[in-house]
Amino acid sequence: MIQGTASGVGKSTLVAALCRIFRQDGLRVAPFKAQNMANNAYVCRDGGEIGRSTAVQARACGIEPTVDMNPVLLKPSTDTAAQVIVLGRPVKSMTAREYQDFKPTLLSMIRGCLFRLQRDHDVVVIEGAGSPAEVNLRDSDIVNMRTAEIADAPVLLVGDIDVGGVFAQLVGTMHLLLEDERARVRGFIINKFRGDLEILRPGLGFLEKETGRPVLGVVPHYRHIRIPEEDAVPAEKIGGAAPADRIRVDVVLHPRMSNFTDFDALEAEPDVALRYVERPGDRVPDALILPGTKSTIADLRRLKDAGFADHVVRCLERGATVVGICGGFQMLGTLIRDPGRVESASEAEPGLGLLPAVTVFEEEKITAQVSGVHLGSGTEVRGYEIHMGRAEAPAGAPFLRITARGGRPVSEFDGAEAAGGRVWGTYLHGVFDNAAFRRHFVDGLRAARGWPALRTATPIDDDAEFDKLAAHVRAHLDIDRIHRILRKQEGNR
């Protein structure tokens, strides 16, 4: 089990790296995270939702993601409440206090998921959440040391040296653990290192002497590997300038944005400069994208209050393409209705009026893998839907024809477009992951500038990226010693 001294120390990436390393070493591997809190979700083949980071880890293992790998997903909708998803299906929205009371009922189900994975694999690499030293949450813990106890798993504790204070992080965490919890910790990993390792060595010696645990490696910071982020847009991608010789794409940073990894493949195109924007500016991009959100009405109101409504219209008038994905598609319509107060305390909110679509929120949540055809170009697309609302019979042209949902043939339309295709929206997450459609979209923006089409999309090779990640981490961790710990041949020193 990989636990961390805090959120954001790199647990998810290290789990993905170890998953790929163990697979390379000939083992059958699966990831597991009992509880994840993120609006960045993935839909499994059976329609169940899990955290996208766990789905990425499953890809590193070379296996299909399943709901057993992340049985509890919390999708924050406000600062004090979240939608609770159990075994891939929504239960209800709960306040933090309600969820605390609900957690003990989940332990048996979590145990069953973990045992099934252990039965079918040689190694299960478990990810913790936040820190195991949150003493106020110890009694209700279901994701850190309680999971390690259920699995009888050795724990490797990760600290982030890039934020400073890594020795205090690790020593302090060990001090706050109970004696039986400390006994599970077999060693430390220091992550995101920059600098001269020799200068760090005295600190490593202090840490080992102070805790009686070995440092199993110091993993350097990297920039040459593209692994999806877990649940937050990196700060370096927010705002900033863009080169004039590339297509400029702005993505609005909603407070409750979901599935921002929808744009990773688009960002990887060499002629695209993509950034996330928190407030409107003077710059008119080639394309302005409204992404998905867990709180459509609240984020739409914030959009209007921040001046983005006028900015969207100004960008369209000055030649930009305006795109809405899922909740962003709903915002571009004429009206969002929530008669059952499914998502908001308000019954309705006017949309931006750029697409002829009315959204009605319903109790039933739609989650499915889908396939279809983009009507404007004839390109085939695949992706997944995660939404509560349905668009009522748009009068304008649909964007996609859906040919399969959840593995079953269908013939339905999705999304809408207007203004000669310069405004469009879709419920399909992952639409830009489709190389032919992605290149069609970017080449259309190039044509608006009078630039020639490139026609060939940049290939996205996840396997190659996982192999690069594994090589990077393997070079800086004592993998042989970790194998011995796994075989229970080595306890604490």
Q: Quick one: which of 154, 177, 156, 170 has its CA closest to 6? A: 170
Residue 156 neighbours by CB under 8 Å, 6+ apart: 1, 2, 3, 185, 186, 187, 188, 189, 216, 482
Q: Is residue 455, in this structure, part of any structural domain at all?
A: no
| Residues in Cβ contact with 242 at an 8 Å cutoff, skipping those fewer than 6 apart | 248, 273, 275, 283, 285
**In a shared domain, residues 144 and 107:** yes
Q: Do 218 and 239 belong to one domain?
A: no
Asked whether residue 177 is assigned to any structural domain, the reply reads yes
404 within 8 A of 348, measured Cβ to Cβ: no
Mean pLDDT calculated for residue range 301-308: 90
Asked whether residue 263 falls in the same domain as residue 412, the answer is yes
CB under 8 Å to 337, separation ≥6 — which residues? 347, 348, 358, 359, 360, 361
CATH number of 377's domain = 3.40.50.880
214 in a structural domain: yes
Same domain, 252 and 220: no
* Exposure of 28 in the CB half-sphere (CA atoms within 13 A): 7
Whether the Cβ atoms of residue 247 and residue 446 lie closer than 8 Å to each other: yes
- List phi, psi (to 5°) of 148: -60, -40
| Residue pLDDT, tens place only, 97-106 | 999 999 999 9
Place of tokens 């003493």: 135
Same domain for 262 and 296: yes
Catalytic residue status for 374: no
On whether residue 403 sits in a domain, the answer given is yes
Does the pLDDT of residue 234 top 70, yes or no? no
- Average pLDDT of the residues in 230-235: 60
274 assigned to some structural domain? yes
Same domain, 116 and 168: yes
Q: Between 18 and 281, where is the model more confident?
A: 18
Same domain? For 53 and 26 the reply is yes
The single residue of 44, 326, 387, 440 carrying the catalytic annotation is: 326
Tell me the residue type at 429.
Answer: H
Per the annotation, the verdict on 254 as an active-site residue is no
Give the separation between CA 73 and CA 321, rounded to whole angstroms.
34
Of these residues, 254, 311, 374, 429, which one is catalytic?
429
**Is 306 part of any domain?**
yes
Integer Cα distance of 357 and 288 in angstroms: 19
Residue 206 has pLDDT above 90, yes or no: yes
pLDDT tens across 132-188, in order?
Answer: 999 998 999 999 999 999 999 999 999 999 999 999 999 999 999 999 999 999 999
Tell me, yes or no, whether 493 lies in a domain: no
Residues 381-411: tens digit of each pLDDT: 999 998 887 877 666 788 899 999 988 999 9
- CATH number of the domain enclosing 78: 3.40.50.300
pTM score? 0.87
The sheet with strand 423-426 has its strands ordered as 272-277, 247-252, 287-290, 321-325, 423-426, 416-418
Cα–Cα distances in angstroms (integers) from residue 316 to residues 20, 115, 288, 311, 353, in the given order: 44, 53, 9, 9, 13
Question: What pLDDT sits at residue 493?
Answer: 42
Q: Which domain holds residue 319?
A: 235-449
293 lies in the same domain as 263 = yes
Looking at the fold, whether 334 and 392 belong to one and the same domain comes out as yes
- The answer to whether residues 21 and 347 touch, using CB atoms and an 8 Å cutoff, is no
pLDDT tens column, 347-360: 888 999 999 888 89
Per the structure, the count of domains in the chain is 2
Mean pLDDT of 231-256: 77
Same domain, residue pair 87 and 190: yes
Is the domain of 183 the same as that of 310?
no
Please, which pLDDT band fits residue 78 given cuts at 50, 70 and 90? confident
Indicate the burial class of 200 (C-beta count within 10 angstroms; 0-12, 13-18, 19 or more).
middle
Q: Are residues 240 and 222 both part of a single domain? A: no
- Does the residue 456 lie in any domain? no
